[in-house]
Structure 1
Amino acid sequence: MNQSFNVQQQRPADDTPEWPEFFRSEVEVFWQQQVTAKYFTAFDGIKLHFAYYKHSATAPLVVIAPGRIESALKYQELFWELAQQGFSVAALDHRGQGLSARLTHNPHQGHVEDFNDFVRDFADFTDQLATLFGSVPKTLFSHSMGGTIATIYCATYQHPYRKLILSAPMFSIETGKVPYWLARAVVAAGAWINRYLSKPWYFFGMGDYQKVPFEDNVLTHSKQRYDTFRSVYDNVTDVQLGGPTFNWLYEAISAAMNAQKLANNITIPVLLFQAGNDKVVSASGQKKVAAMITRNPFRFETIEGAHHELMMETDKFRQPVLNAIIEETRELITA
């Protein structure tokens, strides 16, 4: 029996009546008692929040770069699971979201002035971790927007990470029936007008945080994980975030295209997981990256039928990604 399978055996399945009590009695207690919250000041004076668990002075470290709207709080279950494996874990709340400082007059707006600010923040966060954890082996796990940040960072900075795992990375954004070129032109025009004429605007149809019923969500098939995530956000109102601004969307589209071009410059092993039924980010960008990577080792795996939030998904979709995080990190111990 391998270590990754043991994790699944240590907790009930997400579709059983026992799972909510497991989360309350095991995961939440672990988070409250063993996870540390910390802040540091970014290059421009913005206060950034992160959370970490230190298993031991020599334990390998899994670092999480979350997606848009996410906070370290959303990864409580993953923290607990990796702790059971003897790993340390840390996650950053990107600027403008989670418990980090917001960037506009309306704290619900998902906004950034320049996407490279996210990348520079992540570099500074990594420096913070060097002080806390030293030179222990490090795996970088990134989701969605965090995958864009992690890709640009690993391609352009000297860094300590030995493995990069990308979960449904934002290498292109889903635009539905609107052609990508047209969507990009509309976003660019709106961002330009907005930048020079007024305070940041929400993109068309976007607004403040709203609790979306499970039946209407496109993030996960797991009702109990979804309900738990929403409960956390309802109880900690400071992490609530609404839709993106014009400028966030313009910067995100530009950064996603940049990440495609830079991906082949990454020199560490990369594992890319595509969510087979993703309605948030487009599969096209991920396929372009997979096609252009010419070095080894690079692995591309599709989780057929899965929605966008792979680490919030039901067990059958989530477990292969969790197994990979554990197995890739465990390899670092013996390397």
Structure 2
Amino acid sequence: MLEQAPFHAALADGPEGARAFWLRAGDGLRLRVAHYPGPEAAEGTVLLFPGRTEYVEKYGRTAREFAVRGFHVLTIDWRGQGLADRMLDDVQTGHVHLFADYQTDVAALLDAVDMLGLPRPLHLLAHSMGGAIGLRALTRGLPVASAGFTAPMWGIRMFGPMRPAAWALSWSGARMGMGHVYAPSTGPDSYLSRTPFEGNVLTTDHEGWEYMRRQVTEVPELALGGPSLRWLHEALAECRSLSRLPAPGVPCLTYVGSNERVVDAARIHARMRAWPGGKLEVVQAGEHEVLMEAAATRERIVAQLAAHYRQAAEAAGAQASA
């Protein structure tokens, strides 16, 4: 059952009529989903999988661009972030017990599609951590006609000896009952609240930066700090596991900034080279948040994704009627 949930429409700056709802995951945790409506004669619904630290309001402007192009958007606060149930007493810690638990949240999001009576076909758009969740969901038969990714977390960017050290520290921390402790060099403050715009790793667009920063400073409950050692171990293990799987048989369009400094861009390039019919677009001078770059960049990417979704739906329809 869906119950009305708080939603900060002014900060989201999305299409008119957007609403948020509480729902329960299969294991009882309370999640928050948001429906950004499209036109009455919509062409389908985009399932938007956010990244780590994110929340439904962040994608209001992206949803507005999709609404103009004929699509509804349904997005979620994953467990442990946004206004969903947090996992630890220190609510600023980004934590998950098992990475597979996010698939329970995906199942709840799909239930919400039916509860809200949203139009099909469904399409995926997944960012950063949501890219790992989305790829796993695709391998498990996520019922979408096509997929899009922005800076998907198919690997975490680390330098040389940092990777084995991260594996060792996160594994031993979890084994010794310290999985709740913040990963090294992180803490309770959110990146947006403690970092100046100059030199940030998210966007080159000052207005896009301020859009994100306003959301977490005006509604601190949305903010999240660094990941726990447990989250780090689970994320590393999930990326390794996904790297061993073949590409799903779903049309795919992926974007990565040429200056990506958060996730492993080499893993993205490698995955997309092996994705039959997949296409990779490099956003020149783009950082991690390509949908938070200048408005013209966001509009171009959404227009291309909408065309990609439309083409995939038409191809699936033609195949079904053949």
- TM-score, length of structure 2 as denominator length: 0.87
Question: Which amino acid is the alignment partner of residue 33 of structure 2?
Answer: F
Q: Distance in 2 between matches of 1:116 and 1:90?
A: 21
User: Is the partner of 1:214 in helix, strand or coil?
Assistant: coil
- Other-structure match for 1:45: 28
Deviations 1:153-183 (A, max 9, x none): 1102x33200110111101111135343333
Deviations 1:88-110 (A, max 9, x none): 11111111001111000011100
Cα RMSD (Å):
2.2
Q: Answer yes or no: is 1:331 the counterpart of 2:305.
A: no
Deviations 1:48-95 (A, max 9, x none): 001002335652111100000011111110111111222111111111
User: Is the 2:179–2:228 Cα contact (8 Å) retained in structure 1?
Assistant: no
Q: Distance in 1 between matches of 2:128 and 2:144?
A: 19
User: Is the 1:278–1:308 Cα contact (8 Å) retained in structure 2?
Assistant: yes
Q: Distance in 1 between matches of 2:118 and 2:17?
A: 19
Q: Answer yes or no: is 1:163 the counterpart of 2:143.
A: no
Alignment equivalent of 2:182, drawn from 188, 202, 219: 202
Q: Answer yes or no: is 1:304 the counterpart of 2:281.
A: no
Q: CA 1:288 to 1:189, structure 2 compared with 1: closer, same or farther past 3 Å?
A: farther
User: Is the partner of 2:97 in helix, strand or coil?
Assistant: coil
Deviation of the 1:262 alpha carbon: 2.6
Deviations 1:26-48 (A, max 9, x none): 973x55x5101011111221100
User: Is the 1:123–1:153 Cα contact (8 Å) retained in structure 2?
Assistant: no
User: Is the partner of 1:306 in helix, strand or coil?
Assistant: coil
Greater CA deviation, 252-261 or 184-193?
184-193
User: Is the partner of 1:102 in helix, strand or coil?
Assistant: coil
- Other-structure match for 2:231: 248
User: Is the 2:95–2:227 Cα contact (8 Å) retained in structure 1?
Assistant: yes
Q: Answer yes or no: is 1:273 the counterpart of 2:255.
A: yes
Question: Which amino acid is the alignment partner of residue 124 of structure 1?
Answer: A
| Structure 1: runs of 5+ lacking an equivalent | 1-23
Q: Distance in 1 between matches of 2:78 and 2:142?
A: 18
Greater CA deviation, 271-280 or 91-100?
271-280
- Other-structure match for 1:322: 302
User: Is the 1:152–1:263 Cα contact (8 Å) retained in structure 2?
Assistant: no
User: Is the partner of 2:255 in helix, strand or coil?
Assistant: strand
Q: Distance in 2 between matches of 1:58 and 1:257?
A: 42
Deviation of the 1:191 alpha carbon: 2.6
- Other-structure match for 2:76: 92
- TM-score, length of structure 1 as denominator length: 0.84
User: Is the 2:32–2:76 Cα contact (8 Å) retained in structure 1?
Assistant: yes
User: Is the 2:131–2:153 Cα contact (8 Å) retained in structure 1?
Assistant: yes
Deviation of the 1:125 alpha carbon: 1.0
Greater CA deviation, 283-292 or 204-213?
283-292
Q: Distance in 2 between matches of 1:199 and 1:67?
A: 21
Percent identity between matched residues is: 29
Q: Distance in 1 between matches of 2:11 and 2:160?
A: 44
How many residue pairs end up in the alignment?
Answer: 303
Q: Answer yes or no: is 1:154 the counterpart of 2:134.
A: no
Q: Distance in 1 between matches of 2:11 and 2:174?
A: 45
Q: Distance in 1 between matches of 2:287 and 2:122?
A: 27
Deviation of the 1:221 alpha carbon: 0.3
User: Is the 2:11–2:215 Cα contact (8 Å) retained in structure 1?
Assistant: no
Q: Distance in 2 between matches of 1:147 and 1:27?
A: 22
User: Is the partner of 2:244 in helix, strand or coil?
Assistant: helix
Deviation of the 1:316 alpha carbon: 5.5
- Other-structure match for 2:169: 186
Name the one with the larger helix percent. Answer: 1
User: Is the partner of 1:262 in helix, strand or coil?
Assistant: coil
User: Is the 2:180–2:230 Cα contact (8 Å) retained in structure 1?
Assistant: yes
Q: Which has the higher contact order (CA 8 A, sep 6+)?
A: 1
The correspondence of residues 58-207 of structure 1 with structure 2, limited to 5 A, is 59=42, 60-133=44-117, 136-156=120-140, 158-193=141-176, 196=177, 198=178, 200-207=180-187
- Other-structure match for 2:3: none
Question: Which amino acid is the alignment partner of residue 277 of structure 1?
Answer: N
Deviations 1:240-260 (A, max 9, x none): 100000001111111112222
